[in-house]
Amino acid sequence: MSARTVLVVEDDLLIRLMLVEALQDDGYAVVEAGNVLEAVAAIGRNPSFDALVTDVDMPGYLTGLDLAAMVASVSARTQIIVVSGRDVSESVEIGWAFMPKPYSLDQLLNLLDEANGVTPQAPEMAQAV
């Protein structure tokens, strides 16, 4: 079975690099973007991502919620995980997952693994993102 492909959209470079490394270590293929426009370009090159992990607050006019809505409109099978330091749970569409910041990498990996039919591992020392 080929690795699931995850698009990570996070404007904070350190958080993005940490997410990419953790996902790759867990066996995911990862494409990263620092803003919504970079993410849209990545989707144009590969429209078949298995999952989108996006921060809400992004530089520019478009937010992570805008991006999630675009992805959901063209691919109902893409798992969407929205993260934010603000409570935007009211804005999250049905079927999307919301993770408030800070969250642990284990929480994110478990959420992705559950959607992939993998039994989540017991949490270890959680590193907050």
pLDDT in tens, 42-60: 999 988 899 999 999 999 9
Examine the pLDDT at 2 and tell me if it is beyond 80: no
Contact call for residues 54 and 97 (beta carbons, < 8 A): no
- Tell me the domain boundaries of the chain: 5-115
Provide the 10 A C-beta neighbour count for residue 29: 14
Q: What is the pLDDT of residue 120?
A: 43
The whole-number average pLDDT for the span 57-72 is 95
Q: What is the CATH number of domain 5-115?
A: 3.40.50.2300
Query: What is the share, in percent, of the chain residues with pLDDT greater than 70?
Result: 88
For residue 19, pLDDT beyond 60? yes
- Of residues 90 and 120, more confidence is placed in 90
